[in-house]
Structure 1
Amino acid sequence: MSPRPAPVFPDWPQFDDTERRALDRALSQGQWWRMGGTEVETFEQEFADHHGAPHALAVTNGTHALELALQAMGAGPGTEVIVPGFTFISSSQAAQRIGAVAVPVDVDPDTYNIDVAAVAAAITPRTRVIMPVHMAGLMADMDALDKVAADAGVQVLQDAAHAHGARWQGKRVGELGSVAAFSFQNGKLMTAGEGGAVLFPDEERYEQAFLRHSCGRPRTDRRYHHQVAGTNMRMNEFSAAVLRAQLTRLDAQIAVREQRWRHLSALLARIPGVRPQGDDPRADRNPHYMAMFRLPAWSEERRNLLVDRLVEAGIPAFAAFRAIYRTAAFWETGAPDETVDAVAERCPNVDAISQDCVWLHHRTLLASEQDLTDTAAIVAELVAAV
C-alpha cells in the first residue's frame, strides 16, 4: 500500500436542497405516477432539449431503455444486433432478451470504441441494428458508422449510457439522427439511483415505444384497449423530479471533468507502462464517465492486484469490463452460432483491454488538480511495485 495520504474525492451521487425541493414538489402534487403527474413529462422535454432531440421517453432503467429502443427499431427474433465485445453486458443482453442474436465485434485499442471495419465485416442479411457504445463518454466514429449503416440498410442505436452531454463535431447526441439510450443508474453522470431514457429523432418510433413501455396501452385509454405487446417501464414522478435537479448540474460538472482529465491523463502518460484512453478530436465534448488507462501486456491477475492496491490506497479503482463473450450469461440465449474461441479470435483488442485496463470513478475528475497529481503519483508507485 502506498504510504501517501489518500487524495480527497467528492462523494457521489451529489445532491443538495435542489433535490429536496424537487422531491417535495413531486410529493405535494398528489399524483406520483407519470399518467397523473407532471415531473416525468417535464423531465423528458428538458432532457430532449438538452441533447437536441425531438422526443425523449423516460423509463425504469438503462437496460430497459436499450430493450425498448431495439423493439421500436424492429429488432427481435430472426434478427442480429452488432455490439462491441468490450462493454457492460446490458448492451448485448438487451438484444438477447427480446429474442435477437447479439454479435460481438472488436474495438479500437486506443479509444476502446467499436471498430468500424469489424462492424462492416459482421453485417449479414439478418442484421437489423448496429449498437456503438460511447465508451467512458468518448463518442464512437459516428460519421463512419452512419455510412456503414446507410450502405447496408440497417439502423444505428447509440448506447449513450456513458455519454450524457457529449458532442460529435459540434452535434449533441440527439442531433445525430439516430436513436440513443441513456442510463441514470447510481454511478452514472446524472442519477436517480436507477432510471433510463431513449431519444428518438422521429415521432413514429417514439409513439410505438410509448405504447410498449406502458403495457401497450394508449395514454387516454379508459377501457383497457391494449394495442401492442408491452410491459411496464414507466418512470415514477420522484425519480423524474430528482433527475430534473441532476440535469441542472451536468454542464458545469462536465467542464470540470474535461479540464481535470487533461491534467490526469498527461500525468498518467508519463508513467512507464501506462497508456491512458485515447481521444478523437471530432468528439469535441467528452463528459468522462470514467478515467481509463491500460497496462499493455499485463496479465489479468496482475491488473486485478493493482486495482486492489489502488482501492487500499483510497483510489476508487475498478477492473475494466470483462469481454461479454467470456461470461456465462452471454451464451444462455441469443448468442451467435460460434465458439468462444472463434469470437475471441476476431476480437483480439477486446480480449487485451478486458485483461489490462483499469478505470477510475468519474468523481475522481471532480477533485482538485493537486488531488489528481497525488493520484497519479500513487498509481506510479503501485504500478512499479505490483
Structure 2
Amino acid sequence: MSADRHPAPDFPAWPQYDAAEREGLIRALEQGQWWRIGGSEVDSFEREFADYHGAERALAVTNGTHALELALQVLGVSHGTEVIVPAFTFISSSQAAQRLGAVAVPVDVDPETYCLDVAAAAEAVTPRTRAIMPVHMAGHFADMDALDKLSADTGVPVIQDAAHAHGAQWRGRRAGALGSIAAFSFQNGKLMTAGEGGAVTFPDNASYEEAFLRHSCGRPPTDRKYFHQTSGSNFRLNEFSASVLRAQLGRLDEQIAVREQRSAVLRRLLAEIPGVVPQGRDERVDRMPHYMAMFQVPGLGEQRRDALVDDLIARGLPAFVAFRAIYRSDGFWETGAPDTTVGDLARRNPVTEALTADGIWLHHRTLLAGEQQIHDIAQILTDALAAL
C-alpha cells in the first residue's frame, strides 16, 4: 500500500442473512411441496409483499425482467405498439417491451433525480404508445404526480419499474398504492434478494388474475385437463426463493432506516468535494431506500471516469460506473428499436449522455456501515480525484 493511502474501510457484506433465512429454507424443504401450486411460501410472500407496498395483490415471478415483461403484456403491449422508457436505465427496462415485439422509445431523464423526464415523455407519446415506464432510479421515485396527470390526459397507462424501490414512499404512499402496476427485482444486488426473483404488484384483482394465468403457461391453478386459457410462459417462483424473500422483507425496514441516516451524511460530504454532484432528492420522496449512492463528476469523461472507478475499487470502495445509455448497447438495436440513429438519440438525451460519461455509484451496503466509514468514503473519493 502506498504511503498516501488509508486502510480500506470495512463495509458490511451483501447479501445479508441470518437464522430467519435458514429457518425459511428448512420450512420450505420440509413442507414436502417445492412448487408454488402445492406449497405455501410463495402465497405467503405475495400477501406480505402486497400488504407492505399497499397493493391489492402481488405476484411473485422468476426475475425482475420477467416481472416487467408480464406487466407489459397485461397492459396490452404487443407487436406494433410503443413503450416509453428512460434512456438512462438498465437495459431490461427496454428489452422487456422489445421481447413482446413492441418498440422501445428512449427519452431523457431529470438532471437532479436521474428519473424519467415527464415533459420529454409527453412529447414522445403517439397513437401507438401503450405504456409509459418510469424507473425509480436508485430508489428515488419518478415524479408520480406529473406522470399520473400525463396518463390521465393521454389515456396511456403507467407501469412503474420499481426494481430499486422496495419500501420507497412518494408522499406517504408506496409503489403498490399509487394506482398503477409496479414491477420489482430480487436479483443478487437488490435491496431484497434470493439471488434471483421478481414480483409485480397490482391495484386490482382482475389484472392479477390475468397475470397469474400468463405467468403459469396460461393455465389456471385448478386445471387438471390442460385447458390453457391464454398464451404465456413459465414465470413461476419456487418455494425456496420465496422463503428467503420472506426473511429479507422482515429486515428491510431496519436497513432502510440505517441507509436513510447514512445517506444524509454522505450526500453532505460528497457535495463538499469540488466537482462532485450527488443525486438530488425531491422533497415529495419521504422515504428512499437507497439502492445505490449515486453521484456525478461533471465533465470528467468516460475514460477518466472509468479510471477513477478502478482506483476507488483498488482503495476498497465497491464502486461502479453508471448505466450506459440503452441506445449505446448493440442489444438495444437487435429488435424493437425506433427508426432513428444513435447520434439522433444522443442529441435528444443530453442528461443521459452526461450520466453515461461521468456517473458513478456505490453499492448500498456502504450505507449500512458506521458513520466513520461514511467519512472514509468521502476521504477516499477526495484522494482518488486528486490522484487522477
User: Does 1:334 find its partner at 2:336?
Assistant: yes
2:353 to 351, 354, 376: 351
List per-residue Cα deviations over 1:270-307 (Å, max 9, x = no partner).
00000000010001110000000000011100000000
Q: Hey, what does 1:308 align to over in structure 2?
A: 310
Q: 2:281 aligns with which of 274, 279, 282?
A: 279
Distance 1:348 1:102 in 2: 18
**Separation in 1, partners of 2:380, 2:91:** 31
CA distance in 2, matches of 1:64, 1:298: 36
Corresponding position of 2:35: 33
Structure 2 partner of 1:50:
52
The residue matched to 2:58 in structure 1 has which SS? strand
Structure 1 CA distance for aligned equivalents of residues 295 and 121 of structure 2: 24
User: For residue 258 of structure 1, what is the aligned residue in structure 2?
Assistant: 260
1:194 CA drift (Å)? 0.1
Within the candidate set 233, 237, 240, 2:239 is matched to 237
Of 88, 103, 109 in structure 2, the residue corresponding to residue 101 of structure 1 is: 103
Counterpart amino acid of residue 17 in structure 1: A
2:146 matched residue in structure 1: 144
Q: Deviations over 1:53-100 (max 9, x none)?
A: 010000000000000000001111111000000000000000000111
Residue in structure 1 matched with residue 24 of structure 2 by the alignment: 22
Answer yes or no: is 1:189 the counterpart of 2:195. no
* 3-state DSSP of counterpart to 1:279: coil
| 1:110 Cα offset (Å) | 1.2
Say whether 1:321 aligns with 2:323: yes
What is the Cα deviation at residue 342 of structure 1?
Answer: 1.0
TM-score (norm 2): 0.99
Instruction: Give 1:27 shift.
Output: 0.2
Deviation (angstroms), 1:146: 0.8
Distance 2:155 2:81 in 1: 13
Find the partner of 1:248 among 247, 250, 260. Answer: 250
Q: 2:299 corresponds to which residue?
A: 297
CA distance in 1 between counterparts of 2:148 and 2:212 reads 25
Identity %: 69
Q: What code does the residue aligned with 1:274 have?
A: V
CA displacement 1:80-139 (0-9 Å, x = unmatched): 000000000000000000111000000011110110110000000000100000000000
Residue 256 of structure 2 aligns with an amino acid whose one-letter code is I
- What number of residue pairs does the alignment pair up? 386
Shift of 1:234: 0.1
Aligned partner letter, 2:258? V
Task: Say whether residues 1:221 and 2:261 are aligned partners.
Answer: no
Deviation per CA, 1:185-244: give whole Å up to 9, x if none: 000000000000000001111111100000000110000001111110000000000000
User: What stretches of structure 1 of length at least 5 have no aligned partner?
Assistant: none
Q: CA RMSD in A?
A: 0.7
User: SS at 2:286's partner residue?
Assistant: coil
TM-score, length of structure 1 as denominator length: 0.99
